[in-house]
Amino acid sequence: MTNVATITSAATLNERGDMRHVVARLERLPHCSWHLKMRLIICTAWFFDAFDSIAIAVVLPPLIGMWHLVPQQIGPLIGIGFLGQLVGAIAFGWLAEKWGRRSSMLATLLIFSLGALACAAATSYTMLFWLRFIQGIGLGGEIPLMAAYVNEFAQAKSRGRFSVSIQVLFSVGLLAVALVGVYVVPHWGWQWMFIIGAVPGLIAIPMRTVLPESPRWLAGQGRYDEADEALSRIEAVATREGLTVAPLPADIPAVAEARPNIADLFKGIYLRRTISVWLIWIGAYFVSYGITAWMPSLFRTVYHLNVQQSLNYGLINNVFGLCGAFMALYLIEAIGRRRMFVLSLGGCAASLIAFAFLPQLSAAGTLALATCGFFFLSSTLLSLATYTAEIYPTHLRALGGGVASAFQRGASVVGTTVVGWVLPYYGINAVFVMFGLFALLGAVTAFFFATETRGKVLEHVSPVV
């Protein structure tokens, strides 16, 4: 067994003055209990990110009656949260390159947890509207930061499954909010959905403090001593557990120290990657949040189902979405990112565009076809953050993910708001056809422009230009 203490030292790293051995040590590091602990800590926040994002969907059916809301008010109330997420994604994507991943993740977790508690105290439409914007700032910053952090610890050969196994908790969170809402909203009141979503998030904050900063980010800042210290802690855990720490691989490329510059997102190979990943995010999340946020309200307003039935239909949709999400755990490594996106978005587009050729279906028929589309879509939803973190170098990873996520949030604002205008004038079929066309946009973009990253070291697939 290799002695961790003799592998490399902070002094060696400082003398050589490059990141080569930091990346090589990460790539040869065996998975141990530390990796499991890290993923459990990160996935708790991912779960409650989903829970708090979509809590509004199960809160709205009773509020529609209590506050006498019309579709033109429902859409903005859903959309304002995503507008806050847009702001948070860009702001914290930038701050994560300046402050580091760990400090930024702690800040976002605190903002969205306290924001959720504040939403529970709202007494009017206007108050809830603006509190959801503040909560959204924290929610928006979480996803790109967590994806960057997790990817920077993963080995190339299993990075997709390693990262997606955490992100599946996002889909579990979507299901949980529907499942909890079926009981909590009718029996305890809508405020408890925000309280439930906030308290575990606050508990997760002290858990986050035990995680080290990303060694890739530290080395990119020239902080080699700290990078070595973080890596040595993990290597020591692996050694105590009897795992073999392999010799340093010789073919790992060096990564130059660099500072973030948003203009670099549009230079060289990154221009095509940036534009294409924006379009895929827009295509996927215009549909995703449009369906999940509006599903209970659609059945409440169009088919006049009661609150309990509307929530049950939303729950069914999220159950099938979770099934589709688990497919990504296999497909992301079996067929690669590009093919999976094409299959996922293409299947969703075919299911939803079918509404253009059908009369208005019964509530059950509409649910079946819409749920089929969401089943296909879920594989892309689960994998996009991982893919986006892969296609940028370390000094742009959080920033590139944050800006791409901002387009996702922007699409969510538009998608959830536009439904409130399309539905009264063109009907429910037109709403789903609109969703299907956006899914088709994402599928076509992935087919022609997505970069395959399966099995490649991050520094190979995303060099500094």
Percent of the chain whose pLDDT exceeds 70: 94
* 6, pLDDT greater than 60: no
The larger pLDDT score, comparing residue 441 to residue 141, is at 441
In this prediction, residue 113 carries a pLDDT of 87
Query: Quick one: average pLDDT of 69-73?
Result: 80
Q: How far apart are CA 461 and CA 214, in angstroms?
A: 19
Q: How far apart are CA 28 and CA 445, in angstroms?
A: 34
Q: How far apart are CA 388 and CA 159, in angstroms?
A: 13
In this prediction, residue 5 carries a pLDDT of 38
Split at pLDDT 50, 70, 90, the class of 16 is very low
8 Å CB contact between 83 and 413: yes
Split at pLDDT 50, 70, 90, the class of 255 is low
pLDDT single digits (tens) 341-356: 999 999 999 999 999 9
Determine the topology of domain 12-243+260-461 in CATH. Answer: Growth Hormone; Chain: A; (1.20.1250)
In this prediction, residue 268 carries a pLDDT of 92
8 Å CB contact between 194 and 127: no
CA atoms within 13 A on the CB side of 157: 6
* 194, pLDDT greater than 70: yes
pLDDT single digits (tens) 205-229: 777 778 899 998 998 888 888 888 9
Helix (H/G/I), strand (E/B), else coil: 244? coil
User: Whole-prediction pTM value?
Assistant: 0.81
Which element (helix H / strand E) includes 189? none
Mean pLDDT comparison of 14-18, 232-236, 245-249, highest-scoring range = 232-236
CA atoms within 13 A on the CB side of 161: 11
In this prediction, residue 302 carries a pLDDT of 86
In this prediction, residue 85 carries a pLDDT of 85
Q: Torsion angle of alpha carbons 342, 347, 353, 355, nearest 10°?
A: -170
